[in-house]
Amino acid sequence: MKRQALICKDCNTEIFSDTNMVMLKDAIWKKVSDSFEDAICDKCIEKRLGRNITLSDFKPSSINGVEMIPCNQFWLIYKGVELNGGQK
């Protein structure tokens, strides 16, 4: 399978699923992006939003009992956000 690089359309930074990619709720994404297929990194999403990304912006996922989309989970870990109040 060919790996397709995702490049942020605003800052041309490569987007990686474990550091600067987030999946937002469709309604939020529609507001932030110019089209559904857009690739925008977390920082530029926040710039476009005019505020920080919060948990409630994330697209919920309940597939196979997984409550969060992996890239969102990675992003929270990368950002050091504690979900369960526990220590890493």
Residue 46 sits in the site that holds Zn ion (CB under 5 A): no
Least distance to Zn ion from the beta carbon of 63, Å?
Answer: 28
The binding track of 1-30 with respect to Zn ion, each residue x by CB under 5 A or -, is -------x-xx-------------------
Nearer CB in complex with Zn ion: 33/61: 33
User: Which are the contacts of 74, defined by CB distance < 8 A and separation ≥ 6?
Assistant: 17, 18, 19, 21
Instruction: Annotate 16-39 with DSSP letters as a single string.
Output: -TTTT---B-HHHHHHH-SSTT--
Residue 44 sits in the site that holds Zn ion (CB under 5 A): yes
Contact 43, 11 (CB under 8 A): yes
Least distance to Zn ion from the beta carbon of 23, Å?
Answer: 16
Tokens found for residue 26: 């469709």
In the complex, which residues of this chain contact Zn ion (CB under 5 A)?
A: 8, 10-11, 41, 44
